[in-house]
Structure 1
Amino acid sequence: MVTKLYFVRHADPNYDNHNDYERELSAKGLLDRHLVSDFLKDKPITAVFSSPYVRAVETIRPFAESRRLSIQVDDDFRERRITDQWIADFKSFSEQQWQDFSYKLEGGESLSEVQERNIRALERLLVDFAGQELVIGSHGTALSTIIHYFDPSFSYVDFEKIKGLMPWLVCLTFEGQHCLSIESINLFEKKTR
């Protein structure tokens, strides 16, 4: 039984808001989120899930509303917790985390921990919604750790390539619990890689 999970990395956020949970979409993000709805409009989506973060929910809300589907929030799909402080040199921090999946700052999460809870949530969906097509509102790092779990060749170099791609869509296709394919979709190019 084939199950398709469409992970949607949120659209451009308002970086002036440093509250990770409450960071909303920017004006650009509010415009760009229609790319998600346009891509998904012909897909037989049966349920919509999301990280609890505002930017993830806001990105998929127009699509969910167009299908009259409620957005089911799953805290395990949230983005990584970095620390209580704003990180000025985010590039160096990210690179160090990708070099050592157990590296984390005080009060933060390692990529290994982020990956573990995101995969746990994904596996629940594969059991509860087997044979269906689902949408999940997600984040760049969280989604990258999911890809890395199924394709360990996905590295910091790949993460850097998608850094500015918001929204970004990745379709994971499963046969039971086995990942058959990972398709990265650049909604701005309107073509798949």
Structure 2
Amino acid sequence: MNKILYVVRHCKASGQEREASLTEEGQQQANELSEFLSEYPIKRIISSPYKRTVESILPYAEKVGIEIEKDERLGERLLSPSNQSNWLELLEQSFQDLSFTLEGGESSQDAINRVKSLIEELVEVPEEHIALISHGNLATLLLKIFDEVYGFDEWKAMSNPDVYMIQLKSDGREVRRIWR
């Protein structure tokens, strides 16, 4: 087996809500992302259905003629349905204790299980190069599935956009950041 997953964090957006668009800067970043991804033989694109993720990959998808598949399993992780003044501390706690959850929110473990079900399906498909477009929090948890080192500090260090490559081989796997 040889499969490469490109985990892409969306470009700069105007907000966190589901329908938040990219900013003007984010639109420019999406064009830069399109040029960057053109170096890779991606055959399938699966995105969170959130507007900012779809807009981030749209220039590339149009350029190469690949349909964007939308999958809720790549959607933003909801830490809490209400605003939390100490959200950053709570987010850090959720990376340290994967079962930690706030009322109405999703634990890190639940988010991992959600995205893991997608990964398990993708291991079985014929396409070898697949781009997954998501959000910083979920992307970090997705990377954690393949390398335990990923956590709160790695989330904080991510840029908008960002791109990581997960290479799955019969004899192991490798995770590395490829965005410039």
TM range (shorter): over 0.9
Tell me which residue corresponds to 2:62.
Answer: 65
Mapped to 2, the partners of 1:179 and 1:30 lie a distance apart of 36
Mapped to 1, the partners of 2:131 and 2:65 lie a distance apart of 13
Q: Write the mapping of 1:79-158 to structure 2, written as runs, cut at 5 A.
A: 79-130=76-127, 132-158=128-154
Aligned to 2:178, the other structure's residue is in SS state: strand
Mapped to 2, the partners of 1:67 and 1:51 lie a distance apart of 19
Runs of 4+ residues deviating >3 angstroms: none
Tell me which residue corresponds to 1:6.
Answer: 6
- List per-residue Cα deviations over 1:59-109 (Å, max 9, x = no partner): 001100111111011111112112221333321121111121111111110
| Structure 1 residue ranges without an equivalent (≥5) | none
Aligned 8 A contact 2:143 2:150 in 1: yes
Mapped to 2, the partners of 1:34 and 1:89 lie a distance apart of 34
TM-score (norm 1): 0.87
Mapped to 2, the partners of 1:87 and 1:26 lie a distance apart of 25
Mapped to 1, the partners of 2:10 and 2:84 lie a distance apart of 20
Question: For this pair of structures, how many residues does the alignment match?
Answer: 180
> Is 2:177 aligned against 1:181?
no
Aligned to 2:148, the other structure's residue is in SS state: coil
Mapped to 1, the partners of 2:13 and 2:172 lie a distance apart of 30
Moved more, 89-98 or 104-113: 89-98
Aligned 8 A contact 2:79 2:91 in 1: no
Mapped to 2, the partners of 1:175 and 1:94 lie a distance apart of 32
| Structure 2 residue ranges without an equivalent (≥5) | none
Identical-residue share of aligned pairs (%): 28
Mapped to 1, the partners of 2:81 and 2:134 lie a distance apart of 21
Mapped to 2, the partners of 1:147 and 1:156 lie a distance apart of 12
Q: Alpha-carbon deviation of 1:179?
A: 5.0
